[in-house]
Amino acid sequence: MATTTSSTASTSATAQIVSALGAGSGINTAQLAEQLAAAQFATRIDQLSAKTEKLDAQISSASNLKSLISTLASSIGTLIRTGDLAVKPSISNTSVATVSKGTLSGSGSYSLEVTSLANAQKLVMPAYASSTSTVGEGTLTLRFGTVASGAFTADATQAAVDITVPAGATLADVATAINASGTGVSAYVANGSAGAQLVLKGKEGANSGFILEASPAVGGEALADLAWAPATNTTQLKSTATDAAYMLDGVAYSGTSNTINDVLPGLNLKLTATNVGNPSTITFSDPSTGIATAMTDLTDALNEVAKQLNAAMNKDTGELNNDPGARALRTALTGLAGQKIMLNAASGAPSTLADLGLKTERDGTFSLDTARLNQTLKTSPQEAGAMWTTGIFGVFATIDKIARNANSTTGISLGSSVTKNTALQKTLADRSATLAEKQEALRQQLVTRFAAMDTRVSGSQSTLSFLKAQIDAWNASGKN
């Protein structure tokens, strides 16, 4: 605000001077000073304005192209994440198992019959008065293996784990120590109607059964109450560790967990119930319709980018006709259809956008070869669906890379062009401001000079008026 006030005051004072002096010469010296100063700098100011306008157009055009390709990549990512284009498994009876897509692409249909679920061993130990009751002193040892038919068979591949119980340790302390042992056995104190009882639960799978041995210290013999083995006490055993058993298309499988990943190509299972004698059917979706629609939309969107790029690079009227970033984008789009975007595709499987029908025309625009698309969807629907993923290969990764390259502010890219032109804009703005200051300084110098001229002219006019008056007076007296 101070600069504006100072400038206004200066202009006002100058105008007052010129107004007073202009009366002497009869010339509008204020207007003359302004016009002469403007004429002195007009050519350079016009040149800077033209360059600034050109940079504005270049920045706007490049920014618009960046936005278009980025929006396209984002839209593809959103479409893929909805799952509409993915090959997804489904099951006829969701109470038996939940199914999800595995790391590969699945196809066909399968029957699933679950004969048993994987279970974890659970023990409920004798009751104590409270969780703070002391339990004795010594060492508890967890040994792992199979518990079945009232007997324990140790698994030599699993090491026994000792848990030290110091003097004064409580039931809650024992639970904490077991949880910290890293054995996969969890423990907590249940405060039920019988009192406080230590509950132990192991991992799923037949070989995850366990026994608990006690080695009391002298005076800590009460620790023996926490020992357990199937041969001595079966009432504390609430569930036995077992494997899952199931059949897929009549082939028997077993596992230590109810969660089985990639049991078949493209299929993850989580078993939740048995269905002996009543198998469920697992099928994979056909993404063909969704992919056909997506390819039509992709072709239209790429054409929008290509048409705007062609206009921007027109050799006569284009804002970006000599822009390296625009040329880089055109090169990327020109090679898009034939680029192998599924580097992990099997031999003979679709691996390019051309396999999905995308064609590049001579003018850089795109068209959709529906015959080729339909053929691919007919012969390789699952492989075509696998191309629509948010992974490191596929349609999204390819378009997203083009968008990221275009938006990069390093190297040859539209982003770099915008950065460079924005810096040039600032340079031109600084030069324009400097010229404006010089123009104003010249105008003020001219005002000062014209003021001095008006003073001299005014003095001459006063002398001339005095002499004329004297002559007139003499003439008048002579007549008398």
Which pLDDT belongs to residue 21? 42
Burial class (CB in 10 A: 0-12, 13-18, 19+), 236: middle
Which pLDDT belongs to residue 13? 43
DSSP strand E in 48-173: where?
89-91, 97-101, 109-116, 120-128, 138-148, 151-154, 161-165
Residues 260 and 179 reside in one and the same domain:
no
- CA–CA separation, 105 and 125 (whole Å): 48
Is there a domain that residue 46 lies in? Answer: no
Residues 101 and 250 reside in one and the same domain:
yes
pTM recorded for the entire structure = 0.61
Which pLDDT belongs to residue 44? 86
- CA–CA separation, 200 and 190 (whole Å): 10
Which pLDDT belongs to residue 456? 67
| Torsion region of 278: left, alpha or beta (phi above 0 gives left; psi -120 to 50 gives alpha) | beta
Is there a domain that residue 40 lies in? Answer: no
Report phi then psi at 445, rounded to 5. Answer: -60, -45
Residues 179 and 320 reside in one and the same domain:
no
Which pLDDT belongs to residue 264? 86
Torsion from C-alpha of 229, 233, 237, 243, nearest 10 degrees: 50
Is there a domain that residue 202 lies in? Answer: yes
Which pLDDT belongs to residue 12? 47
Evaluate whether 32 touches 40 at the Cβ level (below 8 Å): no
Which pLDDT belongs to residue 331? 95
Is there a domain that residue 480 lies in? Answer: no
Place of tokens 């025309």: 361
Domain final residue pick, 204, 223, 239: 239
What is the extent of the structural domain holding 176? Answer: 120-239
The strand pair at 366-368 and 251-255 is best described as unpaired
At 76, list the tokens.
């593809």
Residues 294 and 193 reside in one and the same domain:
no
- CA–CA separation, 191 and 198 (whole Å): 9
All residues at 6 or more sequence positions from 158 whose CB lies less than 8 Å from its CB, including other chains: 144, 145, 207
Is there a domain that residue 34 lies in? Answer: no
Residues 324 and 234 reside in one and the same domain:
no
Which pLDDT belongs to residue 6? 38
State the sign of the Cα–Cα–Cα–Cα dihedral 76, 77, 79, 80: positive
- DSSP category for residue 226: G
Residues 124 and 175 reside in one and the same domain:
yes
Is there a domain that residue 402 lies in? Answer: yes
Domain final residue pick, 417, 452, 468: 417
All residues at 6 or more sequence positions from 203 whose CB lies less than 8 Å from its CB, including other chains: 120, 184, 185, 241, 256
State how many domains the chain has.
3
All residues at 6 or more sequence positions from 125 whose CB lies less than 8 Å from its CB, including other chains: 197, 198, 199, 200, 225, 226, 228, 236
DSSP strand E in 314-357: where?
none
Which pLDDT belongs to residue 9? 41
Which pLDDT belongs to residue 328? 96
Residue 228: CATH number of its domain: 2.60.40
Instruction: Say how far residue 197 (Cα) sits from the centre of its chain.
Output: 49
Residues 216 and 355 reside in one and the same domain:
no
Is there a domain that residue 452 lies in? Answer: no
Residues 408 and 300 reside in one and the same domain:
yes
SS3 of the chain: helix, strand, coil, percent, to 5:
50, 25, 30
% of the chain beyond a pLDDT of 90: 65
DSSP characters over 179-225 = HTT-SS-EEEEEEETTEEEEEEEEEESGGGEEEEEEEEPTT-GGGGG
Residues 309 and 412 reside in one and the same domain:
yes
Alpha helices in 360-413 (DSSP H): 370-379, 381-386, 395-407
Residues 223 and 264 reside in one and the same domain:
no
Domain final residue pick, 386, 417, 448: 417
Which pLDDT belongs to residue 183? 95
Is there a domain that residue 272 lies in? Answer: yes
Parts of the chain with a pLDDT under 70: 1-27, 105, 454-475, 477-480
Residues 294 and 152 reside in one and the same domain:
no
Which pLDDT belongs to residue 450? 73
Closest by Cα among 119, 125, 24, 76 to 396:
76
Closest by Cα among 387, 353, 384, 358 to 370:
358
Residues 156 and 214 reside in one and the same domain:
yes
